Each structure stands twice: as structure tokens, then as C-alpha cells.
């Protein structure tokens, strides 16, 4: 039997995972209206053929609600992880490239953000922006950049003394061109994997903050909202309200984590041997 | 010795400065909030039916009529003297509320912290020792799933399984309902804290397990392990004698660094179990715009996190003499 090339199987996995996540996102957008349909003739149904995840006390189809919620989570995750990674890139490069008091200030700022428990920081930021969609996005985006910023800062510090950069400086390449031509291409793999590995955290924190009541408003079919509502019906034995949406969320987050792991292997082939 | 003291003093000063920064930043964030404390706590309809004087009185109570800088300076002056103000929702001094809440939270946090550390270390070492074989794959898979699971959902599952379905453990709170405080036994408290502590411990495991595994794999690939193997030492002895010692330091750092995560998790878990701890107070304060209390909780929890990091820094030197000041971190 011919052994499948590892690179090929990794690429295949990437394709399938990306397609799956894309499909969930699209399906959620399409099912947004179906998720809001209430029908009291079919309320509190346990999982059955017509309703895979059952229905809630207002007769809403939990499958549609879950998909819509996941789609919302993924979109919020993409947005916040993107912003976070960009903040990390800018601050990390600034910190390492300028050194001195800029570095001291940014490092202090990173320590400050890392020192506050994440959830509390997201709550504070969310309150500052008046909760809701903006609150979640700002809260999650501005609290997750720290570790990536540190990685990028370390990388740039290391690169700064690399012979080819010193040579470029002596050859009279301008500072901006050195950053653009020599530094950024080197940072790209770190940046991309950091970005993808931010998704799981972003999605989990979005769901957590929404669950606590500081995030997306309760009319929206967010996973956090679904789970916090399900809490009221747990004691009456409606287990499906909590089990399936949560499990689906875990699945999406695992997919993102695996995706990030595989992308790292592709972009940084040396790490395969670890 | 003098050097060590100087080192500790410098670190402590830095932590103090960071705490000051945390207080300024949280204060600014809370002041920038467009949420009106009157509207969230009194309600729009009730506000409309009140007279001007009543509204002004309420505004004075919630501190909405003073400029932020004045309020912060007033708060800071009190904080330096050990007075964090009065909680607006509980109508008690913030320190009293935090003290009570921390009392019930602390040993929940502590159990979870110790359990997750021990469990994580054990799992990490097992995975590292069996690298590439099925126990390793199992543990790594488990860690991936656990780190992708929101703490509150795990809490919900445990609640469903142990309290609703099996009926072994109580649904929530920290003491039985309808029992006088004197009549509450230690067994009652234990029973109520068991599920929250379990949830917190399980969620905290993955990070430390994965890092320990990574480090142990590194150690096991080194030359002195090769020598030990050549000398005929048994694999188990190698892992325990040479592996554990070298893995302990990074594991300890991670463990002290994970204080923040455990506190963050406790906010969620306490909410699910309606456990009256610090995390729940934070959520209540946040939802009710109770600025002094939220500020106090943020400050105290950040203090715990910085304290954890400080301890880790100091322990370096104690555990590994090579790491004394001047030679830097590994």
C-alpha cells in the first residue's frame, strides 16, 4: 500500500476543516430566520428526527439556533482575532524596533494586561463600551494580543542582530524598507499561526462573556445566550438544551485549534521533528 | 542575602506599580462606560416618576455627579489608607464584602489550583514518558478537548450528571437552603464545594500537562539520559530521578502563572453553581454598575496574580541555585 504523503494529508485536513467551518458559518447565516421562529405546538421536544437537537420552551428549533449561534461566534472570533493579531504585530514590532522607553512602556502595558484575570478584563472593557456587540468585540480584541506581542517582540529582537539585517543597514537600506523587505516576511509564519491559534480563545471568551450577561444581547441566537437560558431548565430534565449547543461549540473550537496546529507544521517545517 | 532582598524589593515595587496601573485603567474604563448606573439599577420607568431632588440624591449616591478625576483621587486616598469605599449594591464596605466572598472562594481556588497542578504534572510526565504511544496520544487528545471546552459548559454538564441525573450532589450555593448558619457542618460545605472545585481543576489541567510533556521529551533526549540508559538504569527510575527534577521548575512557573486563569474560571463556574464567591460578586457588581466593588475585586484578583508571579520569581532562586539573580531566567 502506498503511504500517503504527510504534507498531502495535512493539506487535505486543512481543506476539509476550513470547508466545514465555512459551511457552518454560511448555514448559520441562512438559518438565522429559522432560528427565531417560535411555535408553541412543538415546545420542549426532546431530540427526534425532525428536530435533531430538540426544541426549547418556545418551540424554537435548537439545531437552527445552535448553527446560527456558532456562525455568529465564528464571525465574532474572526473579527476579534484579526484585530488582536494586528495589535500584537504593531506593538511587538514597535517595542523591539525602537527599544528604550517605548519598549519599557509596551512591556509594562503587556504585564498589566496579563496581570488582570482575562475574564475580568473582558468584562471591564465590555462595560466601558456599553456591552452588546461592540462591547464583546472590543473586550475580546483588546485583551488577547499580549502573548503574541511578546512572541513577535522576541522574534524581532533576535532578527535585529542578524547579519543580513546589519548588512542591509550598512548598505543604506532605509528603516522602513528593512522592516518591509526583511523583517515582515520572517514574521509572517509566526503571525499567521498566532492569528489562527487566537480563534479558539476568542470564541471561548466571547461565549463566556455572553454567558455571564456582558456580551451579545439576549435576542441574538449566540451560544452563550443559549447556554445561559438552558440553565433555568436544567433541573426540569431538559438536558438537550445544554448538551448539544455546548458540544457543537467544543467541536468548532477543537477544529480551529487543530487547524492552527497544522498550519504551524506547514509554515514551520522544522517543528515536525519535535 | 542582601542581593536577594534587593531583588525581591524591586519585584515587589514593580508589582505595586502594576497594581496602581490596574486601578487607573479599570477606573478609566468604568468611567468611560455609557451605561447609566441609575438606569440599570432603578429602571427607566421609576426614574421618570421621580422628582428632580430624588434623582439628584440618587446621582449623588451612585457618584454620577462628580468628575472622574476627583472621584479617582478620592478613591485612591481612601485605598492607601486601606478603605476601598462602600459597595453600592451590598451597602457594606467593599473590603468586608470581598473578605466574606474571598473566604468562601479561597479554598475553592486553592483546591483547584493544587489539584490541577498535581494532575497536570502527572499527566504531562506520563505523556512524555510514553511519547508517541497510545497513553501519550490519549492524554494529548484529552488536553486538546479540555482546553477547547468552556468552563461554564463543563460546569453545566457536571451539574446535569451529578446533581440532576444521579442526584448525588446539591445543585448550587455553598450551604444547604433553610439551615441556620450555626447548623451548617463542614461536610455540608465540602459537599457544596466539591463540584465547583472539580470543574475548576479539570479545566486547569491541559496547559501544564502539555508544557510538562514537551519539556520532559526534551530532557529525555539529552545526553545524560543516554548515559543513564547505557548504565542500565530502568526507564521508570530515569523519569523520576532525572526527568522530574528538570521538569519541576518550568512546571512550577506555569503553575504560579496560572493563578489568573483559575480565577477567571472561577468567575464562570461560581456563576453556574450560584456559589457565593468572589467571581460571582464581580459579575453582580458588573451587571449592577457597582463601581467600587468591581474595582475592589479587580484589584484584589490582580494582586493575587502578581503575587503568584512574584512567588514564582523568588522560588527560582530557592529551587535552582544557578538561577540566582544576575544569571537571568532559563
A window 181-210, beta carbon within 8 A of B: 200, 204, 207-208
Residue B171, pLDDT score = 67
- Interatomic CA distance for residues B330 and B315, integer angstroms: 13
Look up the CATH number of the domain holding residue B252.
1.10.3720.10
B264 touching A (Cβ < 8 Å): yes
Tell me the backbone φ, ψ of residue B86, rounded to 5 degrees: -115, 130
Q: Is residue B111 part of a domain?
A: yes
- Any A CB within 8 A of B280 CB: no
Q: Per residue in B177-220, pLDDT tens?
A: 666 666 666 677 777 778 888 888 888 888 889 888 888 888 88
B298 to chain A, minimum CA–CA distance in Å? 7
Cβ of residue A114 closer than 8 Å to a chain B Cβ: yes
Q: CB B22 to CB A114 under 8 A? A: no
B255 inside domain: yes
B34, A130: Cβ pair inside 8 Å? yes
Phi, psi of B93 (to 5 degrees): -55, 140
- pLDDT at residue B327, as a whole number: 46
> Residue A127 and residue B282: Cβ atoms within 8 Å?
no
Please state, in angstroms and rounded to a whole number, the distance separating the CA atoms of residues B74 and B88: 16
Task: Centre a 10 Å sphere on the Cβ of residue B88 and count the other Cβ atoms it contains.
Answer: 19
Q: What is the pLDDT of residues B123-179, one digit of tens each?
A: 999 998 888 888 888 998 998 888 888 888 888 888 888 877 777 767 666 666 666
In a domain, B93, yes or no: no
Same domain, B73 and B125: no
Phi (first) and psi of residue B224, to 5 degrees: -70, -25
* Residue B63 CA, distance from chain mean position: 30
pLDDT of residue B178: 61
Residues A90, A270: contact at Cβ < 8 Å?
A: no
Q: Looking at B28, B48, B80, which one is the last position of a domain?
A: B80
pLDDT at B151: 87
Handedness of CA A72, A75, A78, A83 (dihedral sign): negative
Question: Residue A125 to residues A224, B28, B31, B39, B228: CA-CA distances in angstroms?
Answer: 18, 10, 11, 20, 54
Largest CA distance in chain A: 78
Q: Is the pLDDT of residue B87 over 50?
A: yes
From B26, B47, B80, the end of a domain falls on B80
Within this chain, do residues B157 and B245 fall inside the same structural domain, yes or no? yes
The single-letter DSSP state of residue A45 is P
Q: Is residue B90 part of a domain?
A: no
pLDDT of residue B323: 60
Residues B166 and B70 grouped into a single domain: no
Q: Contacts of residue B29 in chain A, CB cutoff 8 Å? A: 124-125, 127-128
Question: How confident is the model over B268-279, as a mean pLDDT?
Answer: 85
Range of the domain at B70: 18-80
Q: Does A134 touch chain B (CB under 8 A)?
A: no
Q: Is B138 inside a domain boundary?
A: yes
Q: Which of B35, B260, B298 sits opposite A124 (nearest CB)?
A: B298
Nearest to A231 among B26, B156, B287 (CB): B156
A257 touches chain B (CB under 8 A): yes
A117 closest CB neighbour out of B157, B287, B301: B301
Could you tell me the three cell numbers for A145?
Answer: 494580543
Q: Phi first, then psi: give them for residue A48, nearest 5 degrees.
A: -145, -170
Measured CA to CA, the distance from residue A36 to residue A40 in angstroms comes to 13
Same domain, residue pair B161 and B276: yes
Residue among B149, B160, B305 whose CB faces A115 most closely? B305
The domain total for chain B is 2
Q: CA dihedral in degrees (A164, A167, A171, A173; nearest 10)? A: 50
From A228's Cα to the closest Cα of chain B, the distance in A is 9
**Please, what's the largest Cα pairwise distance for chain B?**
89
- Give the number of other Cβ atoms within 10 Å of residue B11's Cβ: 16
Whether residue A249 lies within 8 A of chain B, CB to CB, comes out as yes
B294 shares contact with chain A (CB less than 8 Å): yes
| Size (chain A), residues | 274
How are the residues of chain A apportioned to helix, strand and coil, as percentages rounded to the nearest 5? 75, 0, 25
**Do the chains contact at B271 and A211, CB–CB below 8 Å?**
yes
The C-alpha atoms of residue A16 and residue A18 are separated, in whole angstroms, by 5
**Does B107 share its domain with B76?**
no
Any domain includes B297:
yes
Does A106 touch chain B if contact means CB atoms closer than 8 Å? Answer: no
Q: What is the pLDDT at residue A88?
A: 92
Q: Tell me the per-residue pLDDT of B95-108, one tens digit each, with 9 for 90 and over.
A: 888 888 888 888 88
Domain contains B330: no
Please tell me whether residues B183 and B315 are part of one structural domain.
yes
A91: region left, alpha or beta (phi > 0 left; psi from -120 to 50 alpha): alpha
The Cα of A139 is separated from the nearest Cα of chain B by a number of Å equal to 11
B86 DSSP β-pair partners = B93
Residues of A in contact with B310 (CB under 8 A): none
Partner residue opposite A231 with nearest CB, options B25, B272, B309: B272
Whole-angstrom Cα distance, residue B89 to residue B72? 19
- Residue after which a domain boundary falls, among B50, B80, B110: B80
Dist CA B164 CA A69 (whole Å):
26
Kindly tell me the number of DSSP H helices and DSSP E strands found in chain B: 16, 0
Residues in chain B: 330
Bigger pLDDT: B128 or A272?
Answer: B128
Interface with B, mutate which of A111, A120, A121, A237 (most B CBs under 10 A) = A120
Is B301 an 8 Å CB contact of chain A? yes
For residues B55 and B122, state if they share a domain.
Answer: no
Q: Are residues B49 and B105 in the same domain?
A: no
Of A128, A204, A235, the CB nearest to B30: A128
What's the complex ipTM?
0.82
Q: Do B193 and B147 lie in a common domain? A: yes
Q: Which long-range contacts (CB under 8 A, 24 or more apart) does B306-309 make?
A: B306/A115, B306/B15, B306/B18, B306/B19, B307/B15, B307/B259, B308/B256, B308/B257, B308/B258, B308/B259, B308/B260, B309/A115, B309/B15, B309/B256, B309/B257
- In-domain check, residue B94: no
Q: How far is CA A176 from CA A20, A97, A168, in A?
A: 40, 11, 12
pLDDT digits (tens, 9 = 90+) for A16-71: 888 888 888 888 888 777 777 777 776 766 777 767 777 777 777 788 888 888 89
Q: Is the separation of the CB atoms in A95 and A107 below 8 Å?
A: yes
pLDDT band at B330 (very low <50, low <70, confident <90, very high): very low
pTM, rounded to two decimals: 0.83
The full set of domains in chain A, from first to last, is 2-31+61-271 (1.10.3720.10)
Residue partners of A67: CB distance under 8 A and separation at least 6:
A24, A27, A28, A31, A35, A248
Residue B33 DSSP label: -
Residue from the list A123, A250, A274 with its beta carbon closest to the beta carbon of B148: A250
CA distance linking residue B200 with residue B120, whole number of Å: 13
Q: Nearest to residue A43, comparing CAs of A59, A65, A54?
A: A59
* In a shared domain, residues B69 and B112: no
Whether residue B208 sits in one domain with residue B302: yes
CA atoms within 13 A on the CB side of B40: 21
With a CB cutoff of 8 Å and minimum separation 6, the contacts of B25 are A112
Do B63 and B147 lie in one domain? The reply is no
Q: Tell me the nearest-neighbour CA distance from A143 into chain B, angstroms.
A: 13
Cβ distance of B301 and A208 shorter than 8 Å:
no
Amino acid at each position: 500500500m502506498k503511504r500517503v504523503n504527510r504534507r498531502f494529508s495535512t493539506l487535505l485536513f486543512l481543506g476539509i476543516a476550513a470547508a466545514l467551518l465555512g459551511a457552518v458559518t454560511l448555514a448559520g447565516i441562512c438559518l438565522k430566520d429559522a432560528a427565531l421562529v417560535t411555535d408553541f405546538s412543538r415546545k420542549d421536544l426532546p431530540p427526534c428526527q425532525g428536530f435533531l437537537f430538540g426544541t426549547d420552551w418556545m418551540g424554537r428549533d435548537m439545531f437552527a439556533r445552535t448553527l446560527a449561534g456558532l456562525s455568529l461566534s465564528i464571525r465574532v472570533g474572526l473579527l476579534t482575532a484579526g484585530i488582536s493579531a494586528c495589535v500584537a504585530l504593531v506593538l511587538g514590532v514597535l517595542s523591539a524596533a525602537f527599544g528604550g522607553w517605548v519598549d519599557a512602556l509596551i512591556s509594562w502595558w503587556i504585564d498589566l494586561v496579563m496581570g488582570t484575570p482575562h475574564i475580568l478584563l473582558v468584562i471591564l472593557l465590555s462595560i466601558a463600551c456599553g456591552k452588546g456587540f461592540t462591547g464583546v468585540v472590543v473586550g475580546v480584541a483588546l485583551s488577547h494580543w499580549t502573548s503574541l506581542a511578546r512572541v513577535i517582540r522576541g522574534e524581532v529582537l533576535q532578527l535585529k542582530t542578524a547579519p543580513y539585517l546589519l548588512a542591509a543597514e550598512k548598505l543604506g537600506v532605509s528603516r522602513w524598507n528593512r522592516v518591509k523587505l526583511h523583517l515582515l516576511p520572517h514574521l509572517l509564519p509566526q503571525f499567521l499561526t498566532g492569528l489562527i491559534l487566537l480563534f479558539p480563545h476568542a470564541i471561548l471568551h466571547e461565549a463566556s462573556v455572553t454567558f455571564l450577561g456582558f456580551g451579545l444581547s439576549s435576542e441574538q441566537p449566540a451560544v452563550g445566550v443559549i447556554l445561559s437560558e438552558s440553565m433555568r431548565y436544567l433541573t426540569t430534565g431538559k438536558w438537550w438544551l445544554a448538551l448539544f449547543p455546548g458540544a457543537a461549540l467544543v467541536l468548532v473550537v477543537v477544529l480551529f485549534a487543530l487547524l492552527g496546529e497544522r498550519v504551524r507544521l506547514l509554515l514551520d517545517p522544522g517543528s515536525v521533528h519535535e | 542575602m542582601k542581593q536577594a532582598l534587593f531583588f525581591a524589593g524591586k519585584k515587589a515595587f514593580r508589582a505595586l506599580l502594576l497594581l496602581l496601573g490596574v486601578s487607573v485603567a479599570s477606573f478609566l474604563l468604568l468611567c468611560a462606560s455609557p451605561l447609566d448606573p441609575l438606569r440599570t439599577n432603578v429602571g427607566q420607568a421609576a426614574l421618570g416618576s421621580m422628582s428632580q431632588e430624588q434623582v439628584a440624591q440618587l446621582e449623588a449616591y451612585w457618584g454620577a455627579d462628580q468628575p472622574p478625576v476627583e472621584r479617582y483621587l478620592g478613591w485612591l486616598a481612601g485605598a492607601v489608607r486601606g478603605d476601598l469605599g462602600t459597595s453600592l449594591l451590598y451597602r457594606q464596605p467593599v473590603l468586608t464584602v470581598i473578605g466574606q466572598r474571598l473566604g468562601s472562594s479561597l479554598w475553592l481556588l486553592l483546591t483547584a489550583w493544587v489539584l490541577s497542578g498535581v494532575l497536570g504534572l502527572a499527566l504531562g510526565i506520563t505523556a512524555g514518558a510514553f511519547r508517541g504511544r497510545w497513553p501519550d496520544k490519549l492524554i494529548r487528545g484529552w488536553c486538546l478537548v479540555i482546553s477547547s471546552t468552556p468552563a461554564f459548559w463543563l460546569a453545566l454538564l457536571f451539574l446535569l450528571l451529578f446533581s440532576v441525573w444521579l442526584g448525588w450532589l446539591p445543585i448550587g450555593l455553598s450551604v444547604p437552603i433553610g439551615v441556620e448558619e450555626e447548623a451548617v457542618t463542614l461536610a455540608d460545605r465540602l459537599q457544596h464545594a466539591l463540584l465547583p472545585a472539580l470543574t475548576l481543576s479539570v479545566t486547569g489541567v491541559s496547559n501544564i500537562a502539555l508544557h510538562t510533556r514537551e519539556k520532559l521529551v526534551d530532557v529525555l533526549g539529552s545526553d545524560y539520559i543516554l548515559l543513564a540508559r547505557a548504565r542500565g538504569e530502568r526507564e521508570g527510575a530515569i523519569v523520576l530521578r532525572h526527568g522530574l527534577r528538570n521538569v519541576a521548575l518550568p512546571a512550577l512557573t506555569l503553575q504560579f502563572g496560572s493563578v489568573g486563569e483559575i480565577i477567571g474560571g472561577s468567575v464562570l463556574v461560581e456563576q453556574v453553581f450560584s456559589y457565593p464567591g468572589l467571581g460571582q460578586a464581580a459579575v453582580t457588581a458588573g451587571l449592577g454598575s457597582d463601581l467600587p466593588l468591581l474595582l475592589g475585586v479587580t484589584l484584589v484578583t490582580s494582586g493575587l496574580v502578581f503575587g503568584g508571579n512574584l512567588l514564582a520569581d523568588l522560588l527560582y532562586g530557592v529551587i535552582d541555585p544557578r538561577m540566582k539573580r544576575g544569571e537571568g531566567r532559563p
